Copies of this chain bind each other. A is one copy, B any other.
Amino acid sequence: MENSVGESSTTAAVTSIYHGLPLLTTRLVSSNNTNNNNNNTQNKMSLVINGDSHTQAHLGQVITHYLASLQPHKQRFLGYPTNEEFNYEALAPLLHLHLNNAGDPFHGSSFTLNSTSFEVSVLDWFAHLWDIQKSEYWGYVTTGGTEGNLHGLLLGREQFPDGILYASQDSHYSVFKIARMYRMQCIKVASLISGEIDCRDLKALLLANKHKPAIINLNIGTTMKGAVDDIDLVIKTLHETGFSRDRFYIHCDGALFGIMLPFLKEAASKISFKKAIGSITISGHKFLGCPIPCGVVITRLEHMKALSRDVVEVIASRDATVTGSRSGHAPIFLWYSLQKKGIIGIEKEVERCIMNARYLRDQLGSAGIGAMLNELSCTVVFERPLDDEFVSRWSLACNGNIAHVVVMQHVTLSMLDSFVSEFLQNRVIWFRDGLRKPLCIANDVGAIHCTCPLHISIKLLDI
């Protein structure tokens, strides 16, 4: 590296705010004292930033310890819809650059270290997947599902400033947060036992609020039960209640299934821009797999134009996205994943996830544990384990009396076997004193899927 002007000058403009501060001295000492402790403690303690400069070798050690500490979690990572099976080794050289796709990916930008050409390729792929012509769509690679919802719902609100947002109670938590952020009136719609939006309730609510346009959030599928809202039925309901196409906007939150469903022949409700929807978003780190959270949002060009026409001079682009600086790496990861898998690879992975989910449901069933799996879903819902340690050990996601496993690409049959076997062993322990019993999940997934003592006895009576 070249010398700077005046770097070693005695008139340097710089001084330290840190030298001699007692707090940092204390931290430094406690960090040094940990050298003889076990790995875990050392690892934890040495994360403190004490102001010293550390060598790459030392820091590399910390990272190695950290990675080792994550391995057990990775081997039993069942509760979240993130694909942990990928290999982006070929992309490691990209770590040497900050890439930034600030602005509109279709507009170009004066931030020349960008990857918008990769981004547009990825967007084209999704536009094609969801049946919208290149000349008619707009979109971008987001930081994740929440930003996709932020963008889609903003498009809806800008089209209908006094519109009411309808979202089923099974919608992702971000939807209700966004309603608050955007100061939108939001009405929660009931869900069916499957998790799907209840169109009878939606109908009643629409009729009661006919005077205001409707902005509807649909789930493809829901966070907890993996249920897919029926787009056709929702549109039919809108028409039946007198909402013409110019008085509603539908945003599809397709976090996980938005990319899986198009590959399933049996999918009842196809996701398609040939239907009267305004936007679709998916998370890139879910099915496709990506080290960092990211996502894709696709909308009709006409909606985006209503949102932003102005060029921001400093980036020589349009400020059409929610976040300004956007990752240049994320689109390359997505591009790489799509190119590596190919259509056949994606099909196979979708099939494997769904088949393995059915396997888990059946194994739980055979073991006498009630479980629900929506058709064409890879999210298996069952009674919440009573022990938090067990929940954490398998990284399960819980809600009330239920827990779920999302069977993603990294979830193998032997992981599922181990999980069921361990679950059974633990249940024996939890329930052996007779004081605790399996939780009732009839209200969550229906009595038919519940194996709590009450519903077991009812079933026995029926026989």
Which residues of A line the B interface, CB within 8 A?
1-7, 9, 12-19, 23-24, 44, 47-49, 51-54, 56, 59-60, 63-64, 66-67, 70, 73-74, 77, 79-80, 82-100, 110-113, 115, 117-118, 121-122, 124-125, 128-129, 143-147, 150, 154, 172-174, 177, 181-183, 223-224, 262-266, 283, 285, 289-293, 312-316, 319, 322-330, 332, 335-336, 338-345, 347-348, 350-352, 354-356, 358-359, 376, 391-392, 395-400, 412-414
CA of A442 to CA of B347 in the docked complex: distance in angstroms?
Answer: 62
Contacts of A395 in B (CB 8 A): 110-113
Q: In whole Å, how far is A18's beta carbon from the nearest beta carbon of chain B?
A: 5
Q: In whole Å, how far is A330's beta carbon from the nearest beta carbon of chain B?
A: 8
CB–CB B264/A13 < 8 A? yes
| Closest residue on chain B to residue A88 by CB atoms | B95
7 inter-chain pairs at a CB distance below 8 angstroms, sorted by A residue, are A23-B128, A59-B340, A77-B112, A82-B98, A146-B325, A173-B324, A182-B183
CB–CB A14/B110 < 8 A? no
Instruction: Give the 8 A-B CB pairs with smallest separation, nearest first.
Output: A53-B342, A4-B352, A293-B325, A15-B265, A73-B112, A146-B324, A14-B351, A60-B90
Contacts of A338 in B (CB 8 A): 49
CB–CB B113/A70 < 8 A? yes
Q: Which of A13, A111, A150 counts the most chain B CB atoms within 10 A?
A: A13
Contacts of A154 in B (CB 8 A): 181
Q: Which of B47, B52, B111, B292 sits near A292, CB closer than 8 Å?
A: B292
CA of A7 to CA of B442 in the docked complex: distance in angstroms?
Answer: 32
CB–CB B324/A144 < 8 A? yes
Contacts of A347 in B (CB 8 A): 14-16
CB–CB B97/A95 < 8 A? no
Q: In whole Å, how far is A43's beta carbon from the nearest beta carbon of chain B?
A: 8
Q: Which of A224, A283, A327 counts the most chain B CB atoms within 10 A?
A: A327
Q: In whole Å, how far is A362's beta carbon from the nearest beta carbon of chain B?
A: 9
CB–CB A355/B51 < 8 A? no
Contacts of A358 in B (CB 8 A): 5
Q: In whole Å, how far is A313's beta carbon from the nearest beta carbon of chain B?
A: 5
A263 and B143 in contact (CB under 8 A), knowing A340-B53, A356-B4? Answer: no
Q: How many copies of this chain does one complex carry?
A: 2
CA of A95 to CA of B121 in the docked complex: distance in angstroms?
Answer: 22
Q: In whole Å, how far is A166's beta carbon from the nearest beta carbon of chain B?
A: 19
Contacts of A54 in B (CB 8 A): 339-340, 342
| Closest residue on chain B to residue A82 by CB atoms | B98
| Closest residue on chain B to residue A7 by CB atoms | B352
Q: Which of B121, B285, B323, B396 sits near A143, CB closer than 8 Å?
A: B323
CB–CB A98/B83 < 8 A? yes
Contacts of A146 in B (CB 8 A): 322-325
CB–CB A314/B49 < 8 A? no
Contacts of A74 in B (CB 8 A): 97, 113
CA of A4 to CA of B416 in the docked complex: distance in angstroms?
Answer: 11
CB–CB A173/B319 < 8 A? yes
Contacts of A223 in B (CB 8 A): 314
Contacts of A332 in B (CB 8 A): 63
Q: In whole Å, how far is A165's beta carbon from the nearest beta carbon of chain B?
A: 14
Contacts of A64 in B (CB 8 A): 93
Q: In whole Å, how far is A84's beta carbon from the nearest beta carbon of chain B?
A: 6
CB–CB B325/A144 < 8 A? yes
CB–CB B354/A13 < 8 A? yes
A59 and B336 in contact (CB under 8 A), knowing A5-B359, A110-B79, A285-B100? Answer: yes
CA of A355 to CA of B265 in the docked complex: distance in angstroms?
Answer: 64
CB–CB B7/A355 < 8 A? yes
CA of A1 to CA of B24 in the docked complex: distance in angstroms?
Answer: 48
Contacts of A316 in B (CB 8 A): 397-398
Contacts of A322 in B (CB 8 A): 146, 150, 181
Q: Which of B66, B77, B147 sits near A323, CB closer than 8 Å?
A: B147
CB–CB B80/A339 < 8 A? no
A63 and B93 in contact (CB under 8 A), knowing A5-B413, A16-B344, A54-B340? Answer: yes
Contacts of A398 in B (CB 8 A): 110, 313-314, 316
Q: In whole Å, how far is A134's beta carbon from the nearest beta carbon of chain B?
A: 10
